[in-house]
């Protein structure tokens, strides 16, 4: 396969998404990254694995690059515990590489930033939980943890009148736990530095104690606001590893759930964005619409957030004709309410004054640092898997991608409005063309060592999973990747030059996942 001008021997991977796998050496690892970047490609995910119960040598690092025809998953087997740094090619690699070191002890050489990332003080720096010979339940490190705190070396800003505001991990509102360190002069933000990993729950290690059937539940709990996207990506990965496929009705129903998840989250965000800009009316109205939708989810699908409905092989739900007309009626009602609320938002001078120009990420910066998903589209990064690498049923739905060039809070609001409208159209189209037949298929048994990938455009952005199976369907390694990895670093830039009181608004306009990132 060709990456820019580089020819790389790669093998097409089975499954729903266009993907190739290639084993590379250290120079190809770097060259492929450089060529991918130069030809408009980007880094999707970077992770490591301990293959002591499978291939030799023991360790490998992997990177998924998005290039013109699809994903290329590079595997670099390591004879030593180091590999070439790509963070100067793809800045988004910085935190991913640091996480690889914290969990597996594999070091990128020589990165500009060698600080720890996911590790705080719960285990010592020379212990690596994702190694196969690490079997600890954590109690072994309690005395270490008791004597140490997370002494993270923040970058400090010096100068006249500069002071720091530490915020978190426990925040003032009902949001997830994480730390923000602001350096400010007066009210203006000179620098924002994030510190995450507080919510690290050992998700990847936990997967390795599961098999591909039981893993579906955990996949849906990596970041619940995107449970459908995660469950679908997981099912896709298992199906491609097994060489099986979900029936076509199941694929359409998955898309129905995914679009409902998108609409519900966007409605919630639009409410909070109004509220954070001082219009409580917005929160009341949008949270009402979201609640209506969640209630219909509970009535038809049995769960407000649609958890545990997508499994490898298909879906556990179906939609009757009567239910389908209820969903359609909901779409109609929602559409007219949305039109009205949108015009109220558009014409509210106070609200627009807070939205416009706030938290801006210019398209050039977004491109250089690799902003993706919804926030990326609001900064002219035109990536939407549903439109570009569309698997069934999106290949039949002709998805219209919403984009904007301004990259400010206002643009992220507009993209949300546009995406809801498009999702409502998609929901109607899906119900219209829903194929008949089964919703669940038996999957063939996978061979030991089989690999698979999943890639789904969730409401926040691309959710990616790379799976390797062990004997009898056990999970040998599963790496889930949340789009927040790419987008959190951009929030640090978006806040610059803004006033501290606008930060909650800017943060909400990105609405990134802590849990999906901390794993």
Partner 1 sequence: MFQLLKQIAIIGIKTEPAPAPDESLRVSKALSAQIAKRFHGALTIRHVDAGSCNGCELEINALNNPYYNLEGLGIRFVASPRHADMLLVTGPVSRHMELALKRTYDATPEPKLVVALGECACTGGIYGESYATLGRVSNVLPVDICVSGCPPTPLAIMQGILTAIT
How far apart are alpha carbons 479 and 482 in whole angstroms?
Answer: 10
- Of 6, 34, 175, 224, the residue at the interface with ligand SF4 (CB under 6 A) is 224
**In angstroms, how far is the first alpha carbon of the chain from the final one?**
33
C-alpha distances in Å from residue 482, one per residue of 97, 226, 286, 372, 455: 15, 10, 26, 11, 10
Does position 500 bind partner 1 by CB under 8 A? no
Minimum distance from residue 221 beta carbon to ligand SF4 (Å): 4
Does position 362 bind ligand SF4 by CB under 6 A? no
Minimum distance from residue 487 beta carbon to ligand SF4 (Å): 21
Instruction: Report the site for partner 1 in 196-235 (rule: CB under 8 A).
Output: 197-203, 205-206, 217-218, 221-225, 227
Instruction: Report the site for partner 1 in 252-281 (rule: CB under 8 A).
Output: 268, 281
Does position 157 bind ligand SF4 by CB under 6 A? no
The contact pattern for partner 1, residues 280-309, with x = CB under 8 A and - = no contact, is -x-xxx-xx-xx--x---------xx-x--
Instruction: Report the site for partner 1 in 142-181 (rule: CB under 8 A).
Output: 145, 149-150, 169-170, 172-177
- Of 116, 132, 206, 221, the residue at the interface with ligand SF4 (CB under 6 A) is 221
Closer CB to ligand SF4, residue 370 or residue 516? 516
Q: Show the CA angle centred on residue 367, arms to residues 363 and 371, nearest 5°.
A: 95
Does position 498 bind partner 1 by CB under 8 A? no
Minimum distance from residue 224 beta carbon to ligand SF4 (Å): 5
Minimum distance from residue 307 beta carbon to ligand SF4 (Å): 8
How far apart are alpha carbons 361 and 310 in whole angstroms?
Answer: 35
Minimum distance from residue 215 beta carbon to ligand SF4 (Å): 14
- The residue to which tokens 């002591």 are assigned: 52
Find which of ligand SF4, partner 1, none residue 176 binds, CB within 5 to 8 Å per kind: partner 1
CB atoms within 10 A of CB 9: 10
Phi-psi domain of 481 (left: phi exceeds 0; alpha: psi -120 through 50; beta: other):
beta
Does position 210 bind ligand SF4 by CB under 6 A? no
**Nearby residues of 362 by Cβ (< 8 Å), 6 or more positions away:** 379, 407
- Of 57, 124, 125, 138, the residue at the interface with partner 1 (CB under 8 A) is 138
CB atoms within 10 A of CB 151: 8
DSSP per-residue letters across 45-83:
EEEEEE-TTSSSSSEEEEEEEEETTEEEEEEEEESSSEE
Closer CB to partner 1, residue 304 or residue 326? 304
Find which of ligand SF4, partner 1, none residue 13 binds, CB within 5 to 8 Å per kind: none
Residues 71 and 44 sit within 8 Å (Cβ to Cβ)? yes
How far apart are alpha carbons 316 and 369 in whole angstroms?
Answer: 39
Closer CB to partner 1, residue 285 or residue 379? 285
Q: According to DSSP H, which parts of 111-247 are helical?
A: 142-147, 203-207, 215-219, 227-242
Closer CB to ligand SF4, residue 148 or residue 221? 221
Closer CB to ligand SF4, residue 221 or residue 342? 221
Closer CB to partner 1, residue 128 or residue 389? 128
C-alpha distances in Å from residue 259, one per residue of 72, 252, 315, 478, 488: 27, 11, 15, 25, 24
Q: Say if strands 107-109 and 82-84 run parallel, antiparallel, or are unpaired.
A: parallel
Query: In the Cβ-directed half-sphere of 487, how many Cα atoms lie within 13 Å?
Result: 29
Closest CA to 394 of 422, 359, 418, 370: 422
Find which of ligand SF4, partner 1, none residue 203 binds, CB within 5 to 8 Å per kind: partner 1
Phi-psi domain of 62 (left: phi exceeds 0; alpha: psi -120 through 50; beta: other):
beta
Find which of ligand SF4, partner 1, none residue 59 binds, CB within 5 to 8 Å per kind: none
- Could you list the residues that contact ligand SF4 (CB under 6 A)? 221, 224
- Could you list the residues that contact partner 1 (CB under 8 A)? 120-123, 129, 134, 136-138, 141, 145, 149-150, 169-170, 172-177, 197-203, 205-206, 217-218, 221-225, 227, 268, 281, 283-285, 287-288, 290-291, 294, 304-305, 307, 340-341, 343-344, 347-348, 513-515, 518
């Amino acid at each position: 396969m060709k990456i820019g001008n580089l020819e790389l021997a790669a093998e097409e991977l089975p499954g729903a998404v266009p993907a190739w796998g290639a084993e590379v050496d250290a120079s190809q690892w770097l060259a492929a990254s450089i060529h991918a970047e130069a030809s408009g490609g980007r880094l999707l995910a970077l992770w490591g694995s301990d293959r002591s119960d499978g291939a030799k040598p023991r360790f490998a690092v992997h990177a998924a690059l998005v290039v013109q025809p699809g994903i290329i998953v590079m595997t670099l087997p390591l004879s030593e515990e180091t590999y070439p740094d790509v963070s100067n090619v793809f800045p988004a690699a910085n935190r991913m590489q640091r996480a690889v070191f914290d969990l597996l002890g594999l070091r990128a050489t020589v990165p500009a930033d060698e600080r720890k990332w996911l590790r705080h003080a719960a285990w010592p720096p020379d212990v690596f939980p994702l190694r196969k010979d690490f079997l600890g339940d954590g109690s072994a490190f309690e005395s270490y943890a008791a004597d140490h705190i997370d002494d993270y070396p923040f970058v400090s800003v010096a100068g006249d009148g500069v002071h720091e505001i530490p915020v978190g991990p426990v925040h003032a509102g009902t949001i997830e736990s994480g730390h923000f360190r602001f350096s400010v002069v007066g009210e203006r933000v000179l620098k924002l530095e994030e510190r995450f990993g507080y919510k690290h729950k050992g998700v990847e290690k936990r997967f390795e104690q599961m098999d591909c059937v039981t893993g579906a539940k955990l996949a849906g709990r990596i970041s619940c606001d995107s449970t459908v996207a995660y469950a679908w990506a997981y099912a896709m990965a298992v199906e491609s590893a097994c060489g099986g496929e979900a029936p076509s009705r199941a694929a359409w129903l998955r898309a129905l759930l995914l679009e409902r998840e998108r609409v519900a989250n966007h409605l919630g965000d639009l409410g909070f964005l109004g509220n954070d800009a001082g219009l409580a009316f917005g929160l009341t109205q949008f949270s009402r619409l979201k609640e209506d939708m969640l209630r219909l989810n509970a009535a038809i699908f049995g769960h407000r957030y649609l958890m545990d409905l997508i499994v490898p092989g298909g879906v556990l739900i179906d939609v009757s004709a009567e239910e389908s007309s209820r969903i359609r009626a909901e779409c109609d009602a929602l559409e007219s309410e949305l039109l009205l609320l949108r015009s109220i938002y558009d014409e509210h001078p106070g609200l627009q004054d807070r939205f416009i120009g706030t938290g801006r990420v210019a398209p050039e910066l977004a491109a250089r640092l690799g902003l993706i998903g919804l926030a990326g589209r609001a900064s002219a990064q035109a990536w939407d898997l549903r439109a570009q690498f569309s698997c069934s049923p999106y290949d039949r739905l002709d998805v219209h991608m919403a984009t904007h060039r301004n990259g400010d809070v206002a643009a992220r609001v507009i993209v949300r409005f546009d995406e809801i409208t498009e999702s409502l159209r998609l929901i109607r189209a899906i119900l219209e063309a829903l194929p008949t037949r089964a919703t669940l298929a038996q999957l063939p048994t996978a061979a030991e060592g089989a690999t698979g990938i999943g890639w789904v455009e969730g409401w926040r952005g691309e959710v990616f999973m790379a799976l390797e199976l062990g004997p009898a369907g056990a999970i040998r390694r599963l790496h889930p990747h949340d789009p927040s990895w790419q987008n959190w670093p951009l929030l640090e830039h978006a806040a610059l030059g803004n006033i501290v009181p606008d930060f909650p608004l800017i943060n909400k306009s990105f609405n990134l996942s802590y849990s999906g990132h901390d794993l």
